[in-house]
Amino acid sequence: MPVFFICAGLIGVLAVLLTANVGRLRTRKKIFLGDGGDPEMLSAIRAHANLIEFAPLCLLIIWLLHGPYGHRTIAVMGIILLVARLLHAGGMLGLVPMGRMVGAMGTTILLAVASVMLALAGLRAL
């Protein structure tokens, strides 16, 4: 369980860092609403937004798996999610070549697998 908590906490820290990055760019570029047509601003906004769109659902589903599948499974999934989200954010910000694609694929595959596992656990409990 501690590994999942660490991963979830680090994803929260990533959200804070991405939020601060958007704020920093808004101040520097004097863009106070939207992206102002600026590609760097758009990338920063989307890196943050994509994390906020996917991380909460993934974390919730992974957390719900701890009952039927145990702590080791959710620890591995938490680590995969953290790495995928770091790669995606790094790729969106131009820091990690291919990071956006690898991170998006990792997150999507993890979400699909975890969702099917949760549905199967529910069916077994019927």
Q: Supply the CATH number for residue 77's domain.
A: 1.20.120.550
Predicted pLDDT at 85: 98
* CB 34, CB 22: distance < 8 Å: no
DSSP 89-110: HHHHTTSSTTHHHHHHHHHHHH
Predicted pLDDT at 22: 98
Query: Into how many domains does the chain fold?
Result: 1
pTM of the model: 0.94
Q: Is the CA virtual torsion 85, 46, 26, 12 positive or negative?
A: negative
Predicted confidence pLDDT, tens digits, the chain (126 residues): 799 999 999 999 999 999 999 999 999 999 999 999 999 999 999 999 999 999 999 999 999 999 999 999 999 999 999 999 999 999 999 999 999 999 999 999 999 999 999 999 999 998
Domain that holds residue 87: 2-125
* CB 75, CB 49: distance < 8 Å: no
78: closest CA among 24, 4, 9, 13?
4
Taking the C-alpha atoms of residue 90 and residue 96, their distance in angstroms, rounded to an integer, is: 5
Q: How far is CA 45 from the centre of its chain?
A: 14
Predicted pLDDT at 70: 93
